[in-house]
Amino acid sequence: MPPLLHPALPLLLGATLTFRAIRRAICRLPLPVHVRADPLRTWRWHNLLVSFSHSIVSGIWALLCIWQTPDMLVEIETAWSLSGYLLVCFSAGYFIHDTVDIVASGQARASWEYLVHHIMAMGAFFSGIFWSSFVGGGVLTLLVEVSNIFLTIRMMMKISNAQDHLLYRVNKYVNLVMYFLFRLAPQAYLTHFFLRYVGQRTLGTFLLAVLLMLDMMILIYFSRLLRSDFCPERVPRRQHKDKFLTE
């Protein structure tokens, strides 16, 4: 079937429009005082709320997919389930929406790291969507969204100047544990699996290249997280002001 007629396209469009509708609904919600007065903080607040909704749904959904189809932990290339396939489509729709939101809001230069991440993630997800392979790998990748729940809470509290709140201090330790369990550990496991494709000219080789670039980004973000939350005296003052999304 030609790509333009692929049955996954309505799923991708529906997921993208769903997140667009969520964003429009979120814009009607009241804003914290420290966010309301700054247009940039307002945009970031709305953007993070959409990300938060995606993380809650897709993180829990990924855990359910693995519970229902445990073969995804081993047969990363061939394991398939309808629920896992729909999850990958759902998350691809989110990345499409967020990419458009960043560009349309004039934040492409400031958020270029996110655009690079989204493009790589969409490239990987499309392999599962259009070729029906590595769906299990896509589901395992989305375990990261469990970690993103706590990471997003952290970033939203920073934007609203609530770093001195008890919840922030508790969340920073929970976030660290979740970062190890649902971001670093799955990423290391997937990287180990995909190393078998070194030297081959296959889809697995392409996904390995994407995975290695994501590994690099994840380690950079992890070092920023540690500096910002546990060694704040080492973070330049300008970064405290400008690095809302990454630190």
The reply to whether 157 falls in a domain is yes
The reply to whether 246 falls in a domain is no
The reply to whether 241 falls in a domain is no
- Asked if residue 195 lies in contact with residue 167, where contact means CB atoms within 8 angstroms, the answer is no
Q: CA angle, 218 as apex, 41 and 90 as ends, to 5°? A: 70
What string of pLDDT tens digits covers the 247 residues of the chain? 344 568 899 999 999 999 999 999 999 999 999 899 899 999 999 999 999 999 999 999 999 999 999 999 999 999 999 999 999 999 999 999 999 999 999 999 999 999 999 999 999 999 889 988 999 999 999 999 999 999 999 999 999 999 999 999 999 999 999 999 999 999 999 999 999 988 887 889 999 999 999 999 999 999 999 999 998 776 555 544 444 444 5
The reply to whether 236 falls in a domain is no
Rg (CA), the chain: 18
- Asked if residue 53 lies in contact with residue 145, where contact means CB atoms within 8 angstroms, the answer is no
CA–CA dist 113, 213 (Å, integer): 12
pLDDT at 199: 82
The reply to whether 239 falls in a domain is no
State pTM to two decimals: 0.92
CA–CA dist 195, 125 (Å, integer): 19
Question: Which tokens hold the place of 196?
Answer: 């078998």
When divided into structural domains, the chain yields a total of 1
pLDDT at 201: 79
Q: Under 8 Å CB-to-CB from 161, ≥6 apart: which residues?
A: 34
The reply to whether 240 falls in a domain is no
CA–CA dist 155, 49 (Å, integer): 10
CA–CA dist 8, 122 (Å, integer): 14
Give the domain extent around 176: 8-27+35-228
The reply to whether 245 falls in a domain is no
The reply to whether 1 falls in a domain is no
